[in-house]
Each structure stands twice: as C-alpha cells, then as structure tokens.
Amino acid sequence: DKIESEIMDNGEPITFHDIAGLEDAKATIQEIVCWPMLRPDLFTGLRRTPNGLLLFGPPGTGKTLIGKAIAHESKACFFSISSSSLTSKWIGEGEKLVRTMFGVAAYRQPSVVFLDEIDSLLTQRKSDDNESSRRIKTEFLVGLDGTGTSSQGRVLVIGATNRPQELDEAARRRFVKRLYIPLPNAKDRACLLKVLLEKNENTLSGQEIEKLARDTDGFSGADLKALSSDAAMGPLRQLGPSALKMELKALPAISYKHFRISLRSMNP
Ligand code: ATP
C-alpha cells in the first residue's frame, strides 16, 4: 500500500474534453487504447492492440495529460513515474520499484503505467552506464513484455519523451505504436485558450481569443497555461491589496487587456 500511494496520481480526473486540439491523436488513442481497455473481448485475432504506446514531441504539449485522460476514459488505475526518479534511487531500489509497480499495476488492472522522460531510462547503452541503471532497464523491458491488453490482462504502458532518437532499439521495438504530439497550431491554441478560460469569469470574445491565438505562435500548451495564469492575476494586480477585502464574485473579470499586458513579458 505504501508503494502504491507513492506512485499513484490522486489528482482531479482528466477527460479528453480537457485536452484541446490534438484531434487525430485523440481519435487514434480512443481506437487503439480506450476501446480495447473497455472491451478486451472484441479485440482478438487481427484486432490486436499494442502493449506500449510512445508519445513523443516537444515539452509541454500535453503528453502527461493524455496519459491521465486515457486512464480516466478507460476506467483504469493510473500509475505515473518519472524515469529520472528511478535512476536516482539507491542501488537496487529503482529496480525493486519497477518490479513492484508492474506487480501492483497487474493486480489493479485495468491500469495505465505512465513513464515520463523515458529516454533517461531506456537510452542507448553508454560506456558510463552503471550496473544499477542497466538492471533497472532490464527489469523495465521484462515488465513491458508481460503487459498488454487481452482477455487475460489489461495493463498499458505509455512512455513519453522529448528525445525519441535517444531511445535504444530494444525499447523502441516494444513501443509498437508511436504518436507524435506536436506544438499546437493557431486553431488548437484558440481551443486551448477557450478550455483554460472556462475556469474563470472573463470577458474575452471569440475574436479576441482568435487574435491571441494568432499572436502566440510557437507557444506550447504549457506556455499558454502560464500566460493565462499570469493574465488571471491581472484583476488582482489592478486592485492591489484592496482586492484581499473583496468577495470572489465582486472581482473584475479577466479581460483581453490583461492578456495583452502578460504577453508583453512572455515568450514561448
Ligand atoms: P513534458 O514533456 O515537459 O513532460 P508534457 O508534454 O507531458 O510535457 P503536460 O505536462 O501534459 O506536457 O502539459 C503541461 C500543462 O500544459 C498541462 O498541465 C496542461 O495544463 C497544459 N497543456 C498542454 N497541452 C495541452 C492541451 N493540448 N490541452 C490542454 N492543456 C494542455
């Protein structure tokens, strides 16, 4: 139980609605991941499903978010672990953690194991690789071989990386399905701003959102979230300390002007 609470993510449930844009990736994921998790009996013979899914692309584009949404939409348990946290463990600990994680994931299936920064774990062998990281890597490949979605078991491993070219051949082979998660285009940026703005009172019109989307070329989803959070501070900054005496309902709404001010000091 202790290990489980260490590796489980207890955040808010994330759905595909929370992921703006990425329509092609979402459709593919529904088909090859969510449906087989919900109805493994339909996926027999040629309709085989991958046991590993690799999400690659620039930082902050929603790879972790997709992992969480998959777990929620497939009614699966979500296990999230960062590769660098494994390799920094005491000798022998990382290896044990990997074995235990696959064990708990199998016990709690259907489950999704999300491994962030996978390149730091499954990287091409370097001469300075120590014994411990080699053992963690072997343990992980063994664990990955034992997973999959079939009528016998439903454990999906999702690897995320910004540097897919650094993965070694053995690892790449196991992630049969690979999806590129790109930076958002102007249309996706507008969608994302709309999703983010649903959370607070605001006065932005559709046209203003589209103008912001055009002016944020090169911004990732994470950058847009940072921009929106900064703009959301606008009404408080405008009022100064007197804002602290006000009811939430009485605060001025976030406006286009607040975004323009924040945009002046923010880059992708
Ligand atoms: P990294 O490679 O740095 O780990 P990542 O691709 O896993 O990044 P996330 O951690 O999923 O990116 O995204 C960071 C934050 O940016 C998310 O919490 C989310 O708020 C926002 N975000 C990014 N892309 C999207 C998107 N397409 N839709 C909604 N929110 C997004």
Question: What six digits make up the tokens of 41?
Answer: 């009996």
**Least confident residue range of 24-28, 81-85, 104-108, 258-262:** 81-85
Q: Which pLDDT tens digit goes with each residue over 75-123?
A: 888 888 877 777 665 666 778 888 888 888 888 888 888 888 888 777 7
Q: Which of 16, 65, 185 to mutate to test the pocket of ligand 1 (most atoms within 8 A of CB)?
A: 65
pLDDT at position 2 is 40
* CA–CA distance, 46 with 65 (Å, rounded to integer): 30
Ligand 1: atom nearest CA of 116 is 4
Query: Is residue 10's pLDDT more than 60?
Result: no
Q: Which pLDDT tens digit goes with each residue over 109-160?
A: 888 888 888 887 777 656 556 677 778 888 888 888 776 555 456 888 889 9
pLDDT at position 92 is 66
Residue 251 vs residue 1, higher pLDDT: 251
pLDDT class of 203 with cuts at 50, 70, 90:
very high
* CA–CA distance, 77 with 189 (Å, rounded to integer): 30
Ligand 1: atom nearest CA of 21 is 27
**Whole-number Cα distances in Å, 58 to 95, 162, 180:** 28, 5, 9
Whether ipTM > 0.90 holds is yes
Those residues with Cβ within 8 angstroms of residue 200's Cβ, 6 or more apart along the chain or in another chain? 232, 253, 254
268 upstream amide cis, omega within 30 of 0: no
Q: Give yes or no for residue 59 CB within 6 A of ligand 1.
A: yes
SS (H, E, C) 36-82: HHHCHHHCCCCCCCCCEEEEECCCCCCHHHHHHHHHHHCCCEEEEEE
By C-alpha distance, which of 112, 105, 109 is closest to 66? Answer: 112
Question: What six digits make up the tokens of 51?
Answer: 């046991």
* CA–CA distance, 225 with 192 (Å, rounded to integer): 9
Helical residues (DSSP H) of the chain, grouped into ranges:
2-7, 23-29, 35-38, 63-73, 83-87, 93-107, 131-145, 169-174, 186-197, 206-214, 221-232, 234-239, 256-264
pLDDT at position 209 is 96
Q: What angle separates helix 206-214 from helix 256-264, to the nearest 10 degrees?
A: 10
* CA–CA distance, 65 with 69 (Å, rounded to integer): 6
Question: What six digits make up the tokens of 19?
Answer: 């992921």
pLDDT at position 226 is 96
* CA–CA distance, 3 with 102 (Å, rounded to integer): 12
Q: Give yes or no for residue 61 CB within 6 A of ligand 1.
A: yes
pLDDT at position 262 is 94
**Least confident residue range of 36-50, 118-132, 184-198, 225-239:** 118-132
pLDDT at position 151 is 46
